[in-house]
Amino acid sequence: MGRGSNLPRVGGFNRAVVLEAIRHSADGLTRAQLGRITALAPQTVSNVTRELLDQRLIHETGVVAPGGRGRPGVALSLNPSGGFAVGIHIDPSALGIAVVNLTGEVIAETYGPLPSPEDSTAVIAHLHYEVDRLAREAEVPHDRLLGIGVAAPGPIDDDAGTVSPPLLPGWGTVPLRDLLARETGFDVVLDKDVTAVAKAHLWTGESPEPDNFFVFYIGAGAAITPVINGQVIRGTTGNAGESMHLPGDPLSTSARGRTLGTSLGERELVAHARELGLELPGEIDSWDPTVIDVGFTRLLELANRSDATALKVFQSAGRVLGMAALAVSELLDMTAIVITGPRWGAMRPLCEPELKATVAGHMLHGQPRPLTVHTSSLGERAGTVGAACLVLDRVFSPTPSTLLIDG
Amino acid sequence: MGRGSNLPRVGGFNRAVVLEAIRHSADGLTRAQLGRITALAPQTVSNVTRELLDQRLIHETGVVAPGGRGRPGVALSLNPSGGFAVGIHIDPSALGIAVVNLTGEVIAETYGPLPSPEDSTAVIAHLHYEVDRLAREAEVPHDRLLGIGVAAPGPIDDDAGTVSPPLLPGWGTVPLRDLLARETGFDVVLDKDVTAVAKAHLWTGESPEPDNFFVFYIGAGAAITPVINGQVIRGTTGNAGESMHLPGDPLSTSARGRTLGTSLGERELVAHARELGLELPGEIDSWDPTVIDVGFTRLLELANRSDATALKVFQSAGRVLGMAALAVSELLDMTAIVITGPRWGAMRPLCEPELKATVAGHMLHGQPRPLTVHTSSLGERAGTVGAACLVLDRVFSPTPSTLLIDG
C-alpha cells in the first residue's frame, strides 16, 4: 500500500469492470444495462465499449428488448475468438494442456502421463511442441494468443519464477517461467497448482458462494486453498494451501491418523490401508507416483467390492475431510467447500457419507454455522483451465489494486 | 465486485493515501517526499494537503533539510488533536474504554469489571456515562470526536449490528450498535473483539511482518485472526477467527486434548488441570467468568511455584499453540504470529519453551518455513485501541475498495 491512484489507472480498471460484467452475462448486455451494473456514467460506458469493440474483445450480437422500461439496445457479448490462452498443468505423474478462448471454453486439449519426468529440459521442449501443435489444431492466430499459464507443483519461488517439486527429484530448482517464455516466445504466468485450481473455480463460478469458498484438492497429497472476497489466497510467497497440520480423523488411534498431512492424499490412504492389514501392490513408503498409483487403484477396487478394511479407509478419509472443513470454515468464516482432484470422482461415493455426517448440523457457540459441500464439475480440467485463467485474469478480473499507480 | 471507479472516488482514496503516509512517518513528510511515496503528481499532493490542512487533520511542523538532494521543505505531520475516537472493549468479565487521538495515542482510559453483566440496558447507560466522562477528562471537543468503536464478544450480526454473546446469557440478542448510537449521539462501529484486536496490531505495526501475520488471542477461549495483505480477515459474516477444530496437543491421550477448542483458553486449561488430578477452586464446568477466573488464577500460582502438574498443563498449551501456528501458517503461507490476551503475560514464560520447540526448524516438503513468534506489547489495551482503530480506519487506511462507486 502507499501508492495513490489517477485517471489512467481508473481507465484500465473500468475497462476490466465492463469486460467482467459482459463475461458474467448469459446473453450479452446493452450499454444501458452496463451503466446500471457498473455505476459508470453513460459517456464512460460508451468510451470503454468502443475501445473494446476496436480491440475485438467484444462484439455486437443483436438487439435486446428492454425488460419493463427503456428502449431496445444492442447487446454486447464477449467475442470468443478475441483472445486465447494456454493452460498447462504439470503433475509429477500427469500432464494436461488446454487452449481456451476468451469465454474460458476449452477448444483444444491433451491429457496424458508426464513424459521424461526426470528431465526438465525435455519437458520444456515437449511443452513447446505441444503448445504449437494445439494452437495450430485450434486455429488460434499467433497474435491472439495472450500467453501461457502454468500450474506447477509447489513449492514455487514467486519472484524467481522457479519450481522445486519434491516429487520430481530430477528437477532440483528449475526457472520454469523464464525457460518456457524463452522457448515459446509467449508471456508465461506461473503459479502453484492448487492456486490455479482455485482460480478455475472462481472463474467458472460454480461454488454455491461464488466469492467466498475453499477448494479441497485431493491428489498425491491434499491441499486446501481459500478464496476470500473473490481473491485466491496465495500467501506471502505464493505457497499457500498446505494442510499438513490440520486435524486428522477424530476416531483414529494411530499417530499417523492424527493430522491431515499424514492421513489424506493417495499415498497416505494406501499407508493407512496397509496399517489396517490390507495387502496392496507396490513398494511400501515409495514416493514414486506410478507406484502410489498402483496401490491406490487396487485400494479403490477393493472398496468398490465392499472390502470392509478398504471401506474403512475411505470412511476415515471422509471424517478427515469433514474435520478440515470445519477447522477452515470456522477460522475464515466461510460456508462453502468445493472438492476436486483426479481421484475425487471415484472416492466421492466412498467418502461422502462420513464427510457429510461430520459437518452436518454444525453449531458454534450455540448458533448454526451451515457448511455446503460441493463437488467440482471440472474434473481433470481444473488444473489446465485454472492455468489458462492465470492469463485471462490479467485481461478481466478488476482487482481494485490495479487502480494503484505503479510504484 | 462489478462497480467501476471515477474521479470523486479517486480523490477520497488519494486523501487517505496521503494521510496514511504521513501517519507512518516519524518526523513528518514534505510535499516532495509525499509525491515520491504515493506516486501522485505534485499538483495532486498540493491539493490534497491543502484540504487536510484546512480540516486541521495535519499541520506544519517545521522545515526538513533534504536528504542528499533537493530543496528544504515544510514537514507535514498528523495533528494529534485533529480528531479523536473512543474504543470500547466489552468482555464477559471486563470492560475497557479508551479515548485515542488521531495518532492512535491513548489520552484517557478506564479498565475494570463489566458492571451489571446480566443487564445490557444498564451496560449501555454505563457506557454513555463513561464516554462522556472520559471525553470531558481528556478535553475532547464534541465536534472532534469521530465516533465510537465497540469490540464485542461474538457471534455478531454484521448487518443488524447485534451481538449474542453466549457468556452473557442475560443479553440474548442485543442491537448494540444502534442502541449505543442513539444513546450517545455518536456514530458507532461494531466488530468482533478479536477482529478489533487484530486491527490494533495492524495499526501499531508491531508485527515482524506488518501486512501479513496472524493474531492469537487467549482469553476465556482462544481465537486466531489472520491479517492478509494489510486486511483483517473478518469472514463472510464478521465472525472469523474461531479455532475450535484446529489440532490440539500432539502428545495428549485424552479426547479433550485432541482439538484446540477443547484444550486452549482459560476454562479449558482449568479443565485439563482437573483431568490430571489437580484440585482447583471453583465449580467444575462452570461458564461463569468469575468462577473460571478463580480456578485459573490458582492454576497460574501453582505453576509459578513449580507444581509439576500445573507446569504440564501450560507446556501442553504451548504445544497446542505451536500446532495451531503451524496449521495456519501452512494454510495461508504466513511467517509471523503475534500472541496477546489478558493472561498471556503471565502464561508466556510457562508456555513459550514448548511453543518455540514445536515451531522451531519447521520444514515443509524439504524446504524451511520459518515462523516468528512475537508477544504483543499492547497488553489489555489491545481491545480498546483496536476498537478505536475501527473508527480511525474510516479516516485513514486507503483500502482500494473505497475507490469503487457506491452501488
Mean pLDDT by 10 residues, chain A (407 residues): 71 85 87 91 93 92 70 88 96 93 93 91 97 96 94 92 89 96 96 95 86 91 92 94 87 81 88 94 85 94 97 96 94 95 92 95 84 92 95 76 63
pLDDT in the model for residue A404 = 67
Give the per-residue pLDDT at B66. 61
Q: Give the model confidence (pLDDT) of B287-325 as tens digits.
A: 888 888 899 999 999 999 999 999 999 999 999 999 999
Q: What does the alpha-carbon distance between residue A393 and residue A203 come to, in Å, rounded to a whole number?
A: 9
Q: Is the minimum CB–CB distance between B331 and chain A shorter than 8 Å? A: yes
Three-state DSSP state, A109:
strand
Q: Is A153 exposed, middle or buried (0-12, 13-18, 19+ CB in 10 A)?
A: buried
DSSP one-letter code for A262: G
More confident residue, B71 or A98: A98
Q: What is the mean pLDDT of residues B154-176?
A: 91
Average of per-residue pLDDT across B2-7: 74
CA distance to A368, B156, B239, B341, per residue, from A365 (Å): 8, 11, 11, 20
User: CA A354 to CA A360: how far, in whole Å?
Assistant: 10
Angle at B134 between CA B131 and CA B140, to 5 degrees: 100
Q: Report the C-alpha gap between A89 and A354 in whole angstroms.
A: 31
Partners of B4 on chain A (C-beta within 8 Å) are 13-14, 17-18, 38-40, 44
Test A327 with B327 for CB contact under 8 angstroms. yes
CB of B252 less than 8 A from some CB of A: no
Out of A4, A155, A327, closest to residue B38 by CB: A4
- Give residue B12's pLDDT band: very low, low, confident or very high (50, 70, 90): confident
Any chain B CB within 8 A of the CB of A160?
no
Q: Which chain B residues are Cβ-neighbours of A18 within 8 angstroms?
A: 4
Averaged pLDDT, B50-71: 81
One of 3.10.20.30, 3.20.20.70, 3.50.50.60, 1.10.10.10 is the CATH number of B7-78, namely 1.10.10.10
* CB-CB neighbors (< 8 A) of A195 in chain B: none
Residues on chain B touching A243 (C-beta within 8 angstroms)? 330-331
Choose the closest CB to A5 out of B367, B401, B403.
Answer: B403
What pairing do the DSSP bridges indicate for beta strands B94-101 and A363-364?
unpaired
Q: Which residues contact A332 (CB under 8 A, 6 or more apart)?
A: A214, A226, A228, B226, B233, B235, B240
d(CA A235, CA A224): 12
Question: Is the Cβ of B245 closer than 8 Å to some Cβ of chain A?
Answer: yes
Model confidence, pTM: 0.90
User: Measured at the alpha carbon of residue A348, what is the angle toward residues A272 and A234, in degrees to the nearest 5?
Assistant: 85
pLDDT of residue B17: 87
* Residue A1 pLDDT: 47
Reduced to 3 states (helix: H, G, I; strand: E, B; else coil), residue A190 is strand
Output the nine-digit C-alpha cell for A128.
513447446
- Taking the CA of residue B26 and the nearest CA in chain A, the distance in Å comes to 15
CA distance readout (Å), A85 to A100, A176, B324: 5, 18, 40
Q: Is B21 touching A (CB cutoff 8 A)?
A: yes
Whether residue A331 and residue B243 make contact (CB cut-off 8 A), yes or no, is yes
CA pair distance B344, B373, nearest whole angstrom: 13
- Cis omega before residue B175 (within 30°)? no
Q: Is the distance from CB of B313 to CB of B280 less than 8 angstroms?
A: no
Q: Is the bond into B155 cis (omega within 30 degrees of 0)? A: yes
Which of chain B's residues have a Cβ under 8 Å away from the Cβ of A44? 4, 6
Q: What part of B 72-91 touches A (C-beta under 8 Å)?
A: none
Are B403 and A1 a contacting pair at CB < 8 A? no
A47 touches chain B (CB under 8 A): no
Three-state secondary-structure class, residue A218: strand
Q: Which positions in chain B touch A233 (Cβ < 8 Å)? A: 228, 332-333
Is residue B5 within 8 Å of residue A371, measured between CB atoms? no
d(CA B144, CA B83): 5
Q: Tally C-beta pairs within 8 A across A and B.
A: 200
- Cβ distance of B4 and A238 shorter than 8 Å: no
Q: Do A327 and B330 touch (CB under 8 A)?
A: no
* pLDDT at res. B407: 45
Supply the angle between the helices B7-23 and B31-38 in degrees, to the nearest 10.
Answer: 110
Q: What's the pLDDT score for residue B204?
A: 85
Chain mean pLDDT for chain B: 90
The answer to whether B398 faces chain A, any CB pair under 8 Å, is: yes
**Given an 8 Å threshold on Cβ–Cβ distance, is A398 in contact with B230?**
no
CB proximity B151 to A under 8 Å = no
pLDDT of A25? 86
Which amino acid is residue A49, in one-letter code? T
Q: At what angle do helices A31-38 and A42-54 cross, to 10 degrees?
A: 120
Report the DSSP pairing between strands B188-192 and B162-163. unpaired
Can you tell me the distance from the alpha carbon of A264 to that of A276, in angstroms, rounded to the nearest whole number? 15
User: Cβ separation of A332 and B235 shorter than 8 Å?
Assistant: yes
Please name the residue of chain B whose CA is at the shortest distance from the CA of residue A249: B258
Residues of B in contact with A226 (CB under 8 A): 331-332
**Which of A155, A166, A224 has the CB atom closest to B331's CB atom?**
A224
Question: Has residue B402 got a pLDDT over 50?
Answer: yes
At A102, the amino acid letter reads L
Q: With an 8 Å Cβ cutoff, is A371 touching chain B?
A: no
Q: Is B1 on the interface with A (CB under 8 A)?
A: yes
Answer whether B326 sits within 8 Å of A1, measured CB to CB: no
Q: Which residues contact B371 (CB under 8 A, 6 or more apart)?
A: B325, B326, B329, B335, B336, B337, B359, B362
Question: Which chain B residues have a beta carbon less than 8 Å from that of A234?
Answer: 333
Chain centroid to Cα A102, Å, comes to 17
Contact A10 B13 (CB under 8 A): no
Is residue A12 within 8 Å of residue B7, measured between CB atoms?
no
Cβ contacts of B241 on chain A, cutoff 8 Å: 331, 333
Å from A268 to nearest chain B CA? 15
Residues of chain B with CATH 3.30.420.40: 83-200+383-395, 207-376
Quick one: fold of A83-200+383-395? Nucleotidyltransferase; domain 5 (3.30.420)
- Cβ proximity of A260 and A248 under 8 Å: yes
C-alpha cell at A19: 469486460
Q: DSSP assignment, residue B15?
A: H
The reply to whether residue B228 touches residue A230, judged by beta carbons under 8 angstroms, is no
Interface probe, candidates B51, B236, B249, B262, chain A, greatest A C-beta count within 10 A: B236
Nearest by CB to residue A332, choosing from B240, B327, B407, is: B240
B239 in contact with chain A, both atoms CB, cutoff 8 A: yes
**Bridge partners (DSSP) listed for residue B85:** B100, B147
Pinpoint the residues of chain B covered by CATH 1.10.10.10: 7-78
Percent of chain B with pLDDT over 90: 62
Please report the pLDDT score of residue A95 as a whole number. Answer: 95
Question: Is residue B233 scored above 50 in pLDDT?
Answer: yes
Count other Cβ atoms within 10 Å, centred on residue A52: 20
Predicted ipTM?
0.90
A chain contacts of residue B400, beta-carbon cutoff 8 Å? 399-401, 403-404
Can you tell me the distance from the alpha carbon of B270 to that of B293, in angstroms, rounded to the nearest whole number?
Answer: 9
Contact criterion met (CB < 8 Å) for B4 and A40: yes
Chain A closest-CA separation from residue B1 CA (Å): 8
Nearest to B1 among A14, A258, A398 (CB): A398
CB A265 within 8 A of CB A219: yes
pLDDT at A403: 65
The answer to whether residue B233 neighbours chain A at the CB level (below 8 Å) is yes
When the candidates are 3.30.2350.10, 3.30.420.40, 3.40.1010.10, 3.40.50.2000, the CATH number that belongs to A207-376 is 3.30.420.40
**Per-residue confidence (pLDDT) for residue A164, from 0 to 100:** 92
Strands (E), B19-176: 58-64, 73-78, 84-91, 94-101, 106-112, 145-152, 156-157, 162-163
**Cα of A251 to nearest chain B Cα, Å:** 10
Chain B: residue whose CA lies nearest to A245? B327
Residues 285-324 of B with CB under 8 A from A: 323
How far is B3 from A37, CA to CA, in rounded Å? 7
Residues B58 and A403: their CA atoms lie apart, in Å, by: 26
